[in-house]
Amino acid sequence: EGVTVQEYTALKLEVKEWPEKAQEILAGKLPEGAKVYFIPATLRPETMYGQTCCFVGPNIVYGIYHVKDNEYFFNSERAARNMAFQEIFPTWGNFPKIAEFRGSDVVGTLVNAPMSVHTSGVRILPMDTVKDTKGTAVVTCVPSDSPDDYATTLELQKKADFYGIKKEWAELEIIPIIETPTYGNLTAKTLVEQLKINSSKDAKLAEAKDLAYKEGFYQGKMIIGEHKGKPVAEAKALVKKQLIESGLAFNYAE
C-alpha cells in the first residue's frame, strides 16, 4: 500500500431500534436524546440508493464513541482513533468511548440508510469477511454493484438460521442503480453468476470486484436518482457532495 491515501465517504446510518443484547450493554450509558450512527466507509457513494443492509464482522470489537453534543458513532477503535486526528472529534486525539460491543451483539439493529430506496430502514447483519484493519469495519451493503455484498446476501438468505438472523432481513429488494454495457444493470449479480461464485469466501471475488469496479466507474451510467443519465465518474462526486452538505456523511481518510 505504501504511501497511498484512501479517501472514503463515511456515511451516517442512524439507529432506530436496538436488539435486546445491545440494549443490555447500553443500559444507562446513553443520555436522553442521544443519536447513534453506524459509520460505514465506502468508495462508491453513488451507489447508496441501493443499500439493503449494513454489515459488521460478528467477531470484531466495536465501540460507541461520543463525538459531540447528542452525536455518537459506532465503529472500530482503530477508525475512532484515526477520526480523532482528522478533526472529526472536537478535541484533537480524543475519542471518548461509552460502550464496547462485539459485532454479533448488534446484529438485527434497525438503522436508517441515507438515500436508500428502503426508507423504512435496513438491518445490521453479519459478514465474516469484514476486516478490522480497513475503513471503519462497518460496510454498507449494495448487492446490485458489489460482488462481495451480493455473495454475502445470498449466503445470509440461504443460511439465515445458522447466522441467527430473520431471513426477511436479508431479502430487501435489490434494485438497479447503474447500467453498464458489459454487465447490464445488476453488475454484481451478473459477475457472481458468470464467474460461478457460490460463497462469500470464494477467491474469484477479488477478480469480480476488480471487473465490477472498473466497468462501473469507466462505463457506468446512473439509472436512478437525481443524477439519472449521468456517467458514474461524474455522479460519484456529486452524490458525495450532496451527502456531506446534508450532514449525512463526511470525509474519512487512511
Question: Interface with ligand A2H by CB under 6 A: which residues?
Answer: 6, 41-44, 47, 130-131, 134-135, 137, 139-140, 142, 145-146, 149, 209, 213
Rounded to a whole number of angstroms, the minimum distance from the CB of residue 49 to ligand A2H is 10
How far is Cα of residue 128 from the mean position of the Cα atoms in its chain?
14
Rounded to a whole number of angstroms, the minimum distance from the CB of residue 31 to ligand A2H is 29
For ligand A2H, the closer of residues 22 and 39 by Cβ is: 39
Rounded to a whole number of angstroms, the minimum distance from the CB of residue 145 to ligand A2H is 4
Contacts of 181 (CB under 8 A, 6+ apart): 215, 219
Q: Are 54 and 108 in contact (CB under 8 A)?
A: no
For ligand A2H, the closer of residues 41 and 192 by Cβ is: 41
Nearest residue to the partner ligand A2H, using Cβ: 135
For ligand A2H, the closer of residues 51 and 109 by Cβ is: 51
Rounded to a whole number of angstroms, the minimum distance from the CB of residue 45 to ligand A2H is 8
Torsion of CA 29, 73, 54, 110, to 10 degrees: 40
CA distance 147 to 152: 8
For ligand A2H, the closer of residues 44 and 66 by Cβ is: 44
CA distance 223 to 75: 31
Q: Are 225 and 115 in contact (CB under 8 A)?
A: yes
For ligand A2H, the closer of residues 121 and 216 by Cβ is: 216
Rounded to a whole number of angstroms, the minimum distance from the CB of residue 171 to ligand A2H is 18
Q: How far is CA 52 from CA 10, 26, 124, 132, in A?
A: 17, 26, 10, 22
